[in-house]
Amino acid sequence: MAVAQTLFHTRGYDAVSVADVTEALGIKPPSFYAAFGSKFGLYARVLDRYAGTGAIPLDAILLPDRPVAEALAALLEEAARRYAAAPCTTGCLVLEGTRCNDAEAREAASAFLVAAEAVIRRYIADRHPEDADRLTDFVCTTMAGLSAAARHGHDLDRLLATARLAGLAIAQALGD
Amino acid sequence: MAVAQTLFHTRGYDAVSVADVTEALGIKPPSFYAAFGSKFGLYARVLDRYAGTGAIPLDAILLPDRPVAEALAALLEEAARRYAAAPCTTGCLVLEGTRCNDAEAREAASAFLVAAEAVIRRYIADRHPEDADRLTDFVCTTMAGLSAAARHGHDLDRLLATARLAGLAIAQALGD
DNA sequence: AAATTACTGTAGGGATCGCTACATAAACAG
DNA sequence: CTGTTTATGTAGCGATCCCTACAGTAATTT
């Protein structure tokens, strides 16, 4: 499972073939299909696993007793850190998964994205209801940008600098 | 050529097959290969065409007699407008092209991206040399985010709001 | 008009894709 | 030890991919 997660994260859903997976796992196609059902079946399980291992722990960052602007800035910085943590698995598995060419896989990844957006929006709306929509859009768009930038080769320092600049905008929008 | 550009912009390089193109153009494969050489050959010509038709006119926005922060904010707003202009061809053809699974096509798109980044960096460095690198990263990362958000379905209003928030960060970083 | 060139359509090659039928081997129940 | 079940490996199916050899038509040249 870990190697499959690395494969999908490194190359993306489309670029990983079942043959790649079976070779990496040292199994043959029939064993693969007995275990996971399909390529998408494996991907769905990888997404679940990612939510628990590689994804950003929203609950640990978006704390109720923390200034909203500070929490959102910390979220962006954490994204920068995770997206540049490993040289091969740059960016976000979910965000990158939402743009693959398989409709089923795309929708599965989008479901995780929508769920994360909802958590962020609810957190903001709790104290700044009138800013929740546009700030959620801004945070998620910035995270998508950070994921893309990481894939383009930006290292940790560059991603962090970008995340901090975005944090400035949030602080300003929330009235310092 | 226009229909090919729309095809690549709508579905991405990988998801467009030569059969799709030949059918859309009403020609047969041999005629296609006589005209364009290969799928990549067509894509390279589409990228060139895009630079003149659909891409953002950097020179018209990044004017020397304009405050840098204002120009960069205008650039982001223009990106928001273009990325949401048509319902099918959302996002940026070049930015989306940099993440396809064909190495040759990816590098061709990346070349356009690098060139655009260089223009932006030079424009900033002219008056704010110490901020050029991180502001260029921020602007390009935000544009990548806007392109992704457009593909995720954000409409013009949402993209514009995000772009304006990012503009705030730029103004603040350049000392208001 | 005859001959050469340029082009188009048919048909298919070679490779890879996700996936599976079938036969063989291993593990277990009686 | 026999019989059943489970799992693995071999081999390949049908579809699609990018691309091309070849034959036939149209246009141009002599």
A125 has pLDDT over 70? yes
Find, in chain B, the residue whose alpha carbon is nearest to that of A150.
B141
Contact by Cβ (8 Å): B97, B148: no
HSE value, Cβ hemisphere, 13 Å, CA-based, for A15: 16
Residue nearest the C1' of D8 (CA based):
A31
Q: Residue A111 pLDDT > 90, yes or no? A: yes
The rounded distance, in Å, linking the Cα atoms of B131 and B31 is 51
pLDDT exceeds 80 at position A155: yes
Q: List pLDDT tens digits, range A44-87.
A: 999 999 999 999 999 999 999 999 999 999 999 999 999 999 99
Name the token pair of B169. 């960060």
Q: Is the CB of A30 under 7 A from strand C?
A: yes
Q: What is the pLDDT of residues B27-70, one digit of tens each?
A: 999 999 999 999 999 999 999 999 999 999 999 999 999 999 99
Q: Given pLDDT bands bounded at 50, 70 and 90, which one contains residue A176?
A: low
Q: Is the CB of B64 under 7 A from strand C?
A: no
User: Do A93 and A54 touch, CB atoms closer than 8 A?
Assistant: yes
Residue of B133, B136, B138, B168 best to disrupt the A interface, most CBs of A under 10 A = B138
Please report which residue ranges of A26-67 form alpha helices under DSSP H. 29-36, 39-53, 58-61
Give the rounded distance of the alpha carbon of A148 from its chain centre: 11
Predicted confidence at residue A129, as pLDDT, reads 97
B→A contacts (Cβ < 8 Å), by residue, are 11-12, 14-15, 95-96, 98-99, 101, 110, 113, 133-135, 137-138, 140-149, 151-152, 154, 158-159, 161-162, 165-166, 168-170, 172-173
Predicted confidence (pLDDT) at residue B86 exceeds the cutoff of 90: yes
Q: How much of chain B exceeds pLDDT 70, in percent?
A: 99
